[in-house]
Amino acid sequence: MSHGRNEMMQSERDWAPSVEIPYAPRHGAKPPVSPPQGDQGQAHFTEMHSHFVYGLDDGAQTYPEMCGLIDQAWQMGVRTLYATPHCVPGIKFFDRDLLEKHLQEARLYCREKGYDMELLPGAEMLWTPQMSYALNQEHLPCLGYTRFALVEFSPSIEKNDLFMAIELMIEAGYRPVIAHFERYACLLKPGTAERLKRKYAVKLQMNAETLTLPSPLMMRLCIKGWLKKGLVDCISSDAHHVQDRPFAIGKAYEVLTQCCGQNYADFAAKGGIFQED
């Protein structure tokens, strides 16, 4: 069962008055400092999950495609953009030199266009049994120059396996951010995501289109519960192409502001996790 976008937006407004969500989801986060507005009154968004750098994965394949994604992000109000190509530590070689080379091309393009946008390296790492060995044998690609590590899992991963993976990453000195956490069946079970955050210093990233596109009723109920409890730490587009899986953080920010208030929306869409102590 699914519903249209307008109906979903109306549903979010219907339950908004009863939702009270703090600006700091967990771990005593401080209120985010609201960034200055963009050139056209747009908010300065932080996109921490995107595949805009060309030639590295299933995202942009060519330089023009990359430039199109950068244009789209800029026009939407993105001012900090992380490149997070797919990576499988311990199994497949991750070409950091190629990432940096193409990322530098992207920076030069921004300079030519007059875009005051910060472009930072990163990766979306797929957890496998081999990654548990790679944790202590190599420096994994983190988000920018932090210890935050964006990690994804098989949609069918068991809860105990996911919990163990997070524990191993933390023990190795990383600060895990679970990519599009709403995709994992084990976290859809009532209370599981809350128990995960209570047990570990882990961050949960939700895809922007989860808030803006039609969803089955059960997913909408899960979203409502997660937001009411302040479990969603960051919203990002996971953008791959301008037309197919584009940047959508602007629309998601509007929905989040309506249902949860501006403080929480600012925290989730403007890089609040990077402002925590």
Q: What is the pLDDT of residues 226-269, one digit of tens each?
A: 999 999 999 999 999 999 999 999 999 999 999 999 999 999 99
Determine, yes or no, domain membership for 245: yes
Tell me which residue range forms the domain holding 212: 44-275
**CATH code where residue 139 lies:** 3.20.20.140
**193 with 231: CB under 8 angstroms?**
yes
Backbone phi and psi for residue 206, each to the nearest 5 degrees, phi listed first: -110, 140
Whether 134 maps to a domain, the answer reads yes
* Residue 143 belongs to some domain of the structure: yes
Q: Looking at the domain assignment, is residue 247 inside a domain? A: yes
pLDDT score of 16 more than 50: no
Position 193 in a domain: yes
| Counts of helices then strands in the chain (DSSP H, E) | 11, 9
Q: Is residue 32 part of a domain?
A: no
> Would 12 be classed as within a structural domain?
no
Residues 6+ apart with CB under 8 A from 26: 197, 230, 231, 233
In this predicted structure, the answer to whether residue 39 has a pLDDT above a threshold of 50 is: no
At residue 34, does pLDDT exceed 90?
Answer: no
Q: What pLDDT sits at residue 25?
A: 34
**Rounded average pLDDT over 90-110:** 96
Q: Looking at the 3D structure of the chain, how many domains does it have?
A: 1
111: Cβ contacts below 8 Å, ≥ 6 apart: none
User: Does some domain include residue 13?
Assistant: no
Q: What is the predicted pLDDT for the residue at 42?
A: 57
Nearest CA among 52, 180, 57, 207 for reference residue 117: 52
